[in-house]
Amino acid sequence: MFVAKFIGRIYSIPASVIDVLPNGAKKEILREKRTVENVLKKVKIGDKVDALIRPEFIHLDKDFNKYKVTGTIKERTFLGEKVEYIVSIDGIDVMVSSSDPGEHMQFSGLY
């Protein structure tokens, strides 16, 4: 974990092993089932483990019906070309960056 933190931001999120595969394991992370390859230690079904997730792999979407994982935006900070959000997902706060300027708007004038 030290190396991952040294390289950049990373989130350690609690997960459960739901299946053991020949070259990895299937984990449940925040209600999402994900297969993880090249698991470094022996795990068994039911083990509680940590999933390491980098912020750049977390994305925001308005259509919350197409995803199993939803969160609540607690805070947002405008940083010029991007916006950083603090999102609470099942009690875990993560930071998500977005460089999407959002929906297009038309201004009638500047005052």
Q: Which residues have C-beta within 8 Å of that of residue 21, sequence separation ≥ 6?
A: 35
Rounded CA-CA distance 10/35 in Å is: 19
CATH code where residue 22 lies: 2.30.30
Task: For residue range 19-47, list pLDDT tens digits in order.
Answer: 888 888 888 877 778 787 777 678 889 99
Task: For residue range 9-20, list pLDDT tens digits in order.
Answer: 788 888 899 888
- pLDDT exceeds cutoff 70 at 111: no
Task: For residue range 67-105, list pLDDT tens digits in order.
Answer: 667 788 899 898 888 888 898 888 888 888 877 656 544
Does residue 46 form part of some domain? yes
Does residue 67 form part of some domain? yes
Does residue 105 form part of some domain? no
Does residue 108 form part of some domain? no
Q: Give the Å distances, CA to CA, from 55 to 45, 73, 97.
A: 27, 15, 8
Task: Please tell me the predicted confidence (pLDDT) of residue 46.
Answer: 92
Q: Show the DSSP H helices in 1-111 as ranges.
A: 2-7
Q: Give the Å distances, CA to CA, from 49 to 10, 19, 42.
A: 15, 13, 11
Domain that holds residue 51: 2-98
What is the tally of structural domains in the chain? 1
Does residue 84 form part of some domain? yes
